[in-house]
Amino acid sequence: MNLSNVNISGRYRGLVISITLFLALISALLVYTFYTSSLLEENTAAIDTSNQIANNAQAVIKDIFDLQNSYGEDINSPHIQTVLQRLEENSEEIDTLLVALKTGSAYVDTKGETVQLPSITDPTTLQALNNTEKEWSMLRPRVKDYLEIADDVRQDTSVRLALVGEQAKTSSLAMNSSLEELTANIFTVAANQARNIRLIQILGVASIFAYFLIFIFFFVRRLRESDAETLEARRETQEIMQTVSTGLFLLDKNLQIGQQHSQALESIIGSDRLAGENLTHVLRGRISDKDLDTTRQFIEQLYNPRVKEKLVNDLNPLHKVMLHTESESGQENRYLDFKFSRVYENKNIARILVNVTDVSDAVRLEQKLEQERAQNDMQIEMLTTILNVNPVVIQDFIKNTKQHIEKINNVLKNPGSSQFELENKLKLIFREMHSLKGESSALKLHSFTKIANAAEDKLQALQNQAKLSGNDFLPLAVDLEELLNLSNTIERLGERINQAAPQVFTSLQENEPTKRSEPTKISEPTKLSKTVAPTKEAVTTANIQQQENAAAETSVITTPVNEPKVIITEHTQDTIETENDGLINIIDSNSLLASNSSKEHDLVEYYQDFAQQIAQRQNKKIQLEISDLDLLNVSSNAVSTAKEVIIQLLRNAIVHGIEVPEVRQAVGKDETGKICLNVNRTDKCLFVIIEDDGAGIDYEKIRQKLIDAGKYDAETAYKLNQKQLLGVLFSSGFTTKSQADEDGGRGVGLDIVKDRIQESKGQLNIKSQLGEMTKFVITLPIES
Amino acid sequence: MRKLMIVDDSNIIRNRIQRAYDSDTFMLVATASTGKDAIERFKIHRPDVITMDLTMPQMDGLECIEKIVAIDEDVRILVVSALSDKATGIQALSLGANGFLCKPFSEDDLIEALNELISD
């Protein structure tokens, strides 16, 4: 830009100088012509003057002779008077003219006009003038002498008249010849001058003409050269613009795209009308309105001289921006990267150069890498889980997962036709999915939980749908497949470990206590501090047995019960490490088997972990106290039911029962909520007792929810007793939580509890005091 | 030697910048953790260069930038903020900030940004 500026001003300077010189030449010629023509005029005047003197001299001599001839005539006669007067006037004029001619000055002629005479320098002319003057100077005094007395009648004028006559005779001829010579000389000078003028004028015009031609020649040549340069530059620019693979264009302050842009820009942006268009019009509807707005503000700031160009790259809203494009093959999304650079002109920001590249491939690659990374993370996560969690638990989990998936699959295989069937089907799938989610979340298998959660979202949407059809369930197949793949992966990983330690895994698969060999302690015993109060344990069992009798049906017990407790403190980081060590030792030492106590410990830890995780997500503080966990050595469906019920009730207690610390403090409770889990058994029954010191069941809230949901009108709702309200609490799809998340709020948990207990022909007792506590007592018969 | 003021409500970020800036070029004259403090200290110490957080208690960064530039328009301000909202960063520029450094940043990023900030 700057370079061409210099060229342009240089070219104009040459042009200006040439024209000035041309004008100066013409002016000089004009001035010279004017000057010489004035000289010519003066010379003409000199010739006229010389002639005038000659005429006057003739008149003077003629008058003198007239006076001589008229001598004796009355002096006062008009004739004499006229002649005398004329003689005097002519003589004086000759004086004046001679002086003017000699000095080259101006005089006023008889007509009153000023006549300018040239100074005579030519020696011959000067000589002729001097001769004339000499002759006149001899005649003039005698004329004067005569005229002094010519008017006086008393004087004798004859002598003086004779003298003047005498002189006039001699001077007449001399003056005539010298004046002729003078005139001829001046004429010659004038003729010379005229010739010179003509010559110089011809030369001047010729040189001006020549100069003009040269000027035109050089100027045109220069113009052609610069045109060629411009053309070449434009051609180069065009070549660059056609060849470059990125989108290049200039942007002015009003976001107007410049007239030239690279050809690639059209395909990158996906529009062939770009030159002169406004960038916001080009991008409108293809990036978000917010991005468009931000882009406008960003470019405005690029024109702000305060802003440092290099320090605003992070704010560029068009960095890797997604562009929606309508193409023949339908909608297509591409990622573009716009880079902006300022173009300066005389230190002012004149334009913005924009460089656009299609970075779709790079972005997609990034996304793919990210996906693969997530996949790897997931596998590591699973591996970590497998290595950290008791293999029996994982084995259970895989078994359960496959069962859940199979159940869902079966449901999907038998498409119901009626709306009622479809709704039931939906509820069933929901329950299975929820159980699956609960179990995976307990094992920290987040990738599992995520898929299950997504599936639940879909189910939730279906639940809110007015009319269901069999096809609505199709998308779930994808989720199921993913879940199945994941569980297969876990299984495979487990098998690999099994290959490394075959005996261990075999033993882990043997869940039957009767087949169990003599338990051997794993190398590192548990570090958990476990305070057992054996004397009170019997009391607990007795209490529960008493309750068993009372709990013939689901009822509400309102009397407070004080339970003896076995407290297990929260596990700490180092216990996890210990567990790792333990597991590695299992694999290393092929002969070792898990003992009952370590298995119970694993289960305790599993519940602790699960509970603390949920608490953390819910921003709550809890302490889970597990007294007995007598779930081992029982060959019964009751155990798997109990495990599932515990998971759901623990979750329920933390999500719905325990309040957030602030609320607990406000009502005067310890900010850490307490949950007690106790599993005992007799020969015939298994008892699961879960108690929390949370908010209790708020029957009014259930009532209000029912009214809000439009299931009952206010009148009917208020007529429902506590038992009926509890029935609602345990029905499918009911929740008091307003927002569903990973931990709850879909109204499925208690529904599962009820179903599982019913399936096992068990019983459920609930005791709750609003603001104080909730206690669930589940009795499950053990089949022999 | 340019006088430097660090404005950020996070102690960690303030310390990070304090450790990172080039002490051959800059001299730390003040730090502030709120917009209000920043203006008080600006009036007293008259720093040439300011690193400015945007989200702060008691007057946010945007308002603070506007007030400081109203007092002295030759001051150079580097916004140091997380990139949650580009529009806010751009708004800071329109109010008189000279550049933007995205959190998290490396020490080299900061040194480079501060040097670019004082270049003409």
Q: What would the 3-class secondary structure string for B32-79 be?
A: ECCHHHHHHHHHHHCCCEEEECCCCCCCCHHHHHHHHHHHCCCCEEEE
A290/B90 CB distance under 8 A? no
Q: Specify the length of chain A in residues.
A: 784
User: What are the pLDDT tens digits along chain B (120 aa)?
Assistant: 899 999 998 888 899 999 988 889 999 999 999 999 999 999 999 999 999 999 888 888 999 999 999 999 999 999 998 877 788 999 999 999 999 998 888 999 999 999 999 987
Residue A500 confidence class, pLDDT cut points 50, 70, 90? low
Calculate the CA dihedral of residues A200, A206, A211, A216 and round it to 10 degrees. Answer: 160
Which chain B residues are Cβ-neighbours of A297 within 8 angstroms?
87, 90-91, 94
Contact A304 B93 (CB under 8 A): yes
Nearest residue on chain A to B120, alpha-carbon basis:
A308
Give per-residue pLDDT as tens, A437-493.
888 887 778 888 888 888 888 888 888 777 877 778 888 888 888 888 888 888 887
* Minimum distance, in Å, between the CA of residue B57 and any CA atom of chain A: 24
Percent of chain A clearing pLDDT 90 (strictly above):
15
Inter-residue contact A282 to A257 (CB < 8 Å):
yes
Residue B96 touches partner A, C-beta closer than 8 Å:
yes
CB contact under 8 A, B119 and A315: no
Contacts of B91 in chain A (CB under 8 A): 297
User: Which range (A500-514, A551-565, A648-662, B60-74) has the least confidence?
Assistant: A551-565
Whole-angstrom CA distances from A552 to A359, A729, A752, A763, A779 are 70, 19, 20, 7, 10
Q: Which two tokens stand for residue A141?
A: 């005094």
Per-residue pLDDT, A784: 57
CA distance, residue B113 to nearest chain A CA (Å): 7
Provide the angle, in degrees to the nearest 10, between the axes of the packed helices A749-759 and A637-652. 160
Question: Kindly report the CA angle at A152 between A150 and A156, in degrees rounded to 5?
Answer: 70
Separation CA B81–CA A712 (nearest Å): 53
Overall size of chain B counted in residues: 120
Nearest by CB to residue A311, choosing from B90, B94, B113, is B113
Least CA distance to B94: which residue of chain A? A301
pLDDT of residue A744: 59
- Is B89–A315 a contact, with Cβ atoms under 8 angstroms apart? yes
Q: Which residues in chain B have their CB less than 8 angstroms from residue A312's CB? A: 93, 99-100
Q: Which of A442, A443, A434, A455 is nearest to A386 (CA)?
A: A443
Calculate the CA A537 to chain-centre distance. Answer: 70
Q: Render pLDDT for A267-312 as a digit per residue (tens, 0 to 9).
A: 888 888 888 999 999 998 889 898 999 999 999 999 999 999 999 9
The answer to whether the CB atoms of B86 and A294 lie below 8 A apart is yes
Contact B93 A317 (CB under 8 A): no
User: Which residue from A104, A2, A94 is spatially nearest to A57, judged by alpha carbons?
Assistant: A94
A308 and B91 in contact by Cβ < 8 A? no
Which residue stretches of A618-696 are H helix? 637-652, 661-666
Contact assessment for residue B100 and residue A314, using Cβ atoms and an 8 Å cutoff: yes
B116 touches chain A (CB under 8 A): yes
Is A601's pLDDT higher than 80?
no
Weakest mean pLDDT among A154-158, A191-195, A666-670, B92-96: A154-158
> What's the pLDDT band for A748 if we cut at 50, 70, 90?
low
At A562 the pLDDT is: 38
Tell me which residue in B86, B96, B116 faces A315 most closely, judged by beta carbons. B86
Q: What is the nearest CA distance from A671 to chain B, expressed in angstroms?
A: 29
* Pick from A301, A310, A316: CB nearest B93: A301
Question: Is residue A726 within 8 Å of A554, Cβ to Cβ?
Answer: yes
Residue pLDDT, tens place only, B19-28: 988 889 999 9
Q: Are the beta carbons of B93 and A315 separated by less than 8 Å?
A: yes
Return the sign of the alpha-carbon dihedral for residues B25, B31, B34, B37: negative
Chain B positions touching A306 (Cβ under 8 A) are 93, 96, 98
Output DSSP code: residue A730.
Answer: T
According to DSSP, the residues that pair with A249 across neighbouring strands are: A261, A354
Instruction: Tell me whether the omega of the peptide bond preceding residue B57 falls within 30 degrees of 0, making it cis.
Output: no
Radius of gyration of chain A (CA): 64
Nearest-angstrom CA–CA distance, A104 and B52: 93
**Spatial contact of A677 and A689, defined as CB atoms under 8 Å apart:** yes
Structure tokens at A167: 């002189």
Element spanning A518, H or E: none
**One-letter amino acid identity for A687?**
F
In angstroms, what separates the C-alpha of B96 from chain A's closest C-alpha? Answer: 7
Q: State whether residue B106 sits within 8 Å of chain A by CB.
A: no
Q: Does residue B117 belong to the interface with chain A, where contact is any CB pair within 8 Å?
A: yes
d(CA A137, CA A494): 155
Residues A150 and A157 sit within 8 Å (Cβ to Cβ): yes
Q: Are A53 and A45 a contacting pair, CB within 8 Å?
A: no
Which residues in chain B are closer than 8 Å to A300, comparing Cβ atoms? Answer: 94
Beta bridge partners of A677: A626, A690
**Residues of A at the B interface, defined by Cβ within 8 angstroms:** 290, 293-294, 297-298, 300-301, 304, 306-308, 310-312, 314-317
Whole-angstrom distance, CA of residue A564 vs CA of residue A515:
34
d(CA B16, CA B109): 12
- Identity of residue B112: E
Q: How far apart are CA A291 and CA A302, in angstroms?
A: 16
Residue A565 has pLDDT above 70, yes or no: no
Using the predicted structure, report yes or no on whether residue A536 has a pLDDT greater than 80: no
Q: Kindly report the nearest CA distance between residue B103 and chain A, in angstroms.
A: 10
Which CATH fold topology does B2-106 show?
Answer: Rossmann fold (3.40.50)
Cβ-based contacts under 8 A for chains A and B? 55
CA A15 – CA A19 distance, rounded (Å)? 6
Please report which confidence band the pLDDT of residue A192 belongs to, taking 50, 70 and 90 as the band edges: confident
The CA distance from A587 to A386, in Å, is 12
Question: Hey, of A307, A338, A344, which one would you mutate to test binding to chain B, going by the most B CBs within 10 A of its CB?
Answer: A307
In angstroms, rounded to a whole number, what is the distance separating the alpha carbons of residues A693 and A696? Answer: 8
Chain B: give the shortest CA distance to residue A608, in Å.
35
Closest chain A CA to residue B82 = A314
DSSP per-residue codes, A317-358:
TTTTEEEEEEETTEEEEEEEEEEEEEEEETTEEEEEEEEEEE
Q: How far is CA A214 from the centre of its chain?
A: 56
Q: In chain B, how many H helices and how many E strands? A: 5, 5
Q: Do B99 and A310 touch (CB under 8 A)?
A: yes
Q: Hey, are the CB atoms on A314 and B119 less than 8 Å from each other?
A: no
Q: What is the model's pLDDT at position A498?
A: 64
Is B58 within 8 Å of B36 (Cβ atoms)? yes
DSSP 8-state symbol, A7: H
* Cα(A171)–Cα(A142) distance, integer angstroms: 12
CB contact under 8 A, B113 and A315: no
Q: Hey, is A24 helix, strand or coil?
A: helix
Q: Which residue has the tokens 């990983």?
A: A493
What is the average pLDDT across A624-651?
A: 81
Pairing state of beta strands B99-103 and B76-82? parallel
Asked whether the beta carbons of residue A308 and residue B98 sit closer than 8 angstroms, the reply is: yes
Phi first, then psi: give them for residue A443, nearest 5 degrees: -90, 5
Query: By CA distance, what is A314's nearest residue in B?
Result: B102
Amino acid symbol at A549? N
Residues A41-96 pLDDT 10s: 888 888 888 888 888 888 888 888 888 888 878 878 888 888 889 888 889 888 88
CA distance A535 to A542: 12
**Domain spans of chain B?**
2-106
B86 contacts A317? CB cut-off 8 A: yes
Tell me the average pLDDT across A392-413: 82
pLDDT-derived band at A577 (thresholds 50, 70, 90) equals: very low
Residues of B in contact with A290 (CB under 8 A): 87
pLDDT over 60 (residue A522): no
The answer to whether residues A275 and A261 touch, using CB atoms and an 8 Å cutoff, is yes
Instruction: Write b or e for each residue in B91-113: b if 16 or more Cβ atoms lie within 10 A of its Cβ, otherwise e.
Output: bbbbbbbbbbbbbebeeebbebb
Record: contact A294-B91, CB cut-off 8 A:
no
- Give, as one character, the DSSP assignment of residue A315: G
Is A388 a residue whose pLDDT tops 80? no
User: Which residues in chain A have their CB less than 8 angstroms from residue B62's CB?
Assistant: none
Chain A contact for B98 (CB, 8 A cutoff): yes
- Distance from the Cα of A297 to chain B's closest Cα (Å) equals 7
Chain B residues touching A349 at Cβ < 8 A:
none
A436 Cβ neighbours under 8 A, 6+ residues apart:
A400, A401, A404, A405, A448, A452, A483
Distance from CA of A287 to the nearest CA of B (A): 15
